Structure formats: structure tokens, C-alpha cells
Amino acid sequence: MAQSFDVVVIGGGPGGYEAAIRAAQLGLKVACIEKRIHKGKPSLGGTCLNVGCIPSKALLDSTHKYHEAAHDLAVHGIVIDKVGFDVKTMQARKDTVVGNLTGGVAQLFKGNGITWLQGSGKLLAGRQVEFTPFEGAAETIDAKSVILAAGSVPVNIPVAALVDDLVVDSTGALEFQSVPKKLGVIGAGVIGLELGSVWNRLGSEVVVLEAVDAFLPACDKAVAKEAQKIFGKQGLDIRLGARVTGTEVKSKKVAVKYTDKDGEHEETFDKLIVAVGRRPYTEGLLSADCGISLDERRFVHVDGQCRTSVPGVYAVGDLVRGPMLAHKAMEEGMMVAELIAGHHAQVNYDTIIGVIYTHPEIAWVGKTEEQAKSEGVDVKTGQFAFAVNGRALAANDTAGFVKFVADAKTDRLLGMHVIGAGAADMSHQGMIALEFGASVEDLQLMTFAHPTLSEAVHEAALSVDGRAIHAIQRKRK
């Protein structure tokens, strides 16, 4: 007799495992199918925990600490004669962090009575799921509801085919055992900038090739301009409008051909990272007769609450529209679990935060100034630099600023944009304000602790109306 569950989740990444846990908390019988093998062992947590968010942040933090010790502590009166680093130790620490977190998810499954089916899953017609274990024959599972959460994989491009340890995607870039003398990165997006920063801090000469003429086009223009200036000072050689036309491995080096406004060029690197984005992973996920429709980009079509075209089947995370972010997937997973259990739930897609974990960090929520203007909104903006923030000065970490975008007629907050130390955490203040429909005046009337970086949030809100205290502003009518 076939196994039967109230909910079967295909995919154990952030969206899948949170959906499974929440469904189990709501009293449903749940199974989660996950086929990932990491470091030779079955592993939950998806791309994020295994080869994405977590390991990249572990390396970013390790390399930032090294760079700070080597270059930035003398001003504090801390003198270190010789500062060195050990890449293998950094990698081992990264793997320990990953192992602790993925193991923690497994324990959460056990504690919540969730069945972890190790192998691959395919949606069949009639809300049945074909489960193929790592060893043994496939079996059919009956499910009252199915959640598709298979995630995404890096985009590969024909002009830069992956080659062992020389031409790698984001996963391979997290496994370098030594620092490449010269490193090429194709793509100046979130992944390319973060990975480029890791190896730049350890001494790599990093060249970033970006086909688009604009830098960080999704960001507010003022933030993007400041970021490009800062990254340039850090040593990242970012070349915009540079379209890669071919690569060739020669004597364990990678020759890259690209074109820009000045013509054709060729550059040779010790290693090359391909970081041009990600695509939904649907290979082997759907049978031909399951009834699920995909759009032209292979995303699963869903409504505003992640329902697919098949009743009782949902899809979340990187498989569906919207930003490919772990926290977006998590909230969708929990929303779907609530809906399956008969509760009311909704994700507010207007308040999803975007972050780039460079140093300084870049974070944003809501509309950019350019986006709001393109929608015909009469906007007003305010900006305040960390350079005159007491806490930032005390920490010797003064790069960047906070910016607010608001509706000039209603005073309602439309967006918050931060570049600076702690930007990711600080942006949640803007997210909460947006969630509650706050006005700029609401933020102006609040009391912020002194001295804190968050005082820049208060000053930026005051600046919207020309009222910032610690900056000389032109009088506004």
C-alpha cells in the first residue's frame, strides 16, 4: 500500500523545510523529499545553507576580519606586526558552520515528526508524487497537498563553460583552497560582488566583467553610485558594458575574450567565476501529465498565494516569480502551510528586503526614487551620511548613508535604502515602517538611542523635510 501524507514537500531548502515544519506544527502529517548530497552526506537546507547564503557569509566574515586586522586596526592603537591567514582553516570553519545548521534542520524535522525522504521527487497527476530513493525502486506516494520547493541552480553560459577548478560557478568559488593571483568574475550582481570581495580581501587582483552598462540597476541610483566608488577604492576592477564572447583554458589559465565600447579585448586569469544569475530547477520535477504550467523562463505559474494551476498543489521560492531570496521563500512556505491548514495568510511582497553582503553592506526595501518617479509619484527624499554619525566615527566605519523616499503629497514612506556597516539589519526598521504604512513624520517623532548607527535613520527621516540636525541643509519651502 502506498504511503500517504497530508502534505508532501519536494525540496528541503528554506522554503521547503519551513513549509514542512509549519505544516507539522499545525497538526498535519508531513513528508519532505530532498536529494542533495553535500560533502558525501544527505543534507537539508538547500542551496542557501549548503552552497549559498551561509557558506558565503562565513567566508565574507572571515576575510573581513583578516582585512580589518591587516589594514584597519592601527588607527585604534592595535598594532599587529604580522597578520596572516590560512584558507584551509577558513574553509574548515565554513564547513563547520554549514554542518551545524543543516544538522539543526534535520533535528527540527525529527522533533516535529516530519518524514525526511532522501532521494528525488516528481509530481504526478492526481496529486501523487513519485519518490525515488538513493537506493531501491521508485514508489508512488499519495498526498492531499503538494508543495513544490525545488529551488534554483546557477545559470551557465555557452561562452564560459565550467572547467573543473578553473572556470567555476558560485558553488565552486566557495571551495578554492588557495588565493588566485588574478581572478575574473563574470557578473557584477549580488553573487559576483560578494565572491569577488572574498578573494579580493585575501589579495586577489579581481576583475569584474558586467555586460550591462549600468551598475546595480535594481538599486537606488545614489546607492549604486556610492557603491561603485567604494568598491573601486577597495580594488575591485568593475568593467561595465563588457560582454564576454569566449573563454579558453590554456596551461591552467583562463583566457577571456570580451567586447566593450572600445572594441575587443582579451584578459588572462588564474580562475574565473561565472556569476550571471540563477534559474528555477525544474528538471525531473514534473511529469508531462501533472497539469502544471511553466512560463517562458521556466518558472512555475502561481497566483498571489502560490497556488499553481492544479488544485492542492503549491509552488514557492526560486521556482516562482519574485526575487530569488531565501527569506522570501521562507515566508511563502509558511504562508502555504497556513493556507493548507485552513488558515488565512499572505506575504507582503512590497516589503521584501534586498541585501548585498559586501562591506559596506547594501540593503533596500520598497521603491527606489527612480521607480517611484516612473510610476508618476511626486516624491521627496532625505539622506544622511554615516561620516557624521558618532557611533560610526567611533568605530572608524563611516562609509555610506541612509536614504528615504516618500510621497511628497501624503508623506507616506515608499522606500528605504542603506549603504554602510550594518545596513542589512538597519533596513528592517524601514521594512517595519512600510509594513505598518508609516509616514516620514512617524519616524521623525521617534526617539533613537545615542550613540547608535540607527541615528542615521532618524536623521535621514528628518532630512526628507530639511530638518536634519547634524547636517547643514538648504531651507525648504
- H or E element that contains 392: helix 390-395
Tell me, yes or no, if 450 is annotated catalytic: yes
| Cα distance between residue 440 and residue 459, in whole Å | 11
- Determine which one of 359, 450, 458, 470 is catalytic: 450
Q: Which of 398, 368, 369, 396 has its CA nearest to residue 385? A: 398
| Cα distance between residue 357 and residue 334, in whole Å | 25
Whether the Cβ atoms of residue 56 and residue 174 lie closer than 8 Å to each other = yes
Q: Which residues on adjacent β-strands are paired with residue 183?
A: 206, 271
Cell of 306: 502560490
CA distances from 191 to 208, 439, 461 (A): 11, 34, 31
Q: Which of 263, 248, 285 has its CA nearest to residue 131? A: 285
Q: Which residues contact 285 (CB under 8 A, 6 or more apart)?
A: 10, 121, 122, 123, 148, 150
**SS3 label, residue 243:** strand
Q: Which of 23, 213, 17, 6 has its CA nearest to residue 107? A: 17
CA distances from 397 to 75, 339, 392, 421 (A): 11, 45, 5, 7
Q: Which of 211, 207, 212, 190 has its CA nearest to residue 271? A: 207
312 exposure class (CB count in 10 Å sphere: 0-12, 13-18, 19+): middle
Q: How far is CA 209 from the centre of its chain?
A: 20
Q: How far is CA 475 from the centre of its chain?
A: 39
| Cα distance between residue 276 and residue 184, in whole Å | 13
**SS3 label, residue 279:** strand
477 exposure class (CB count in 10 Å sphere: 0-12, 13-18, 19+): exposed
Residues forming the active site? 450
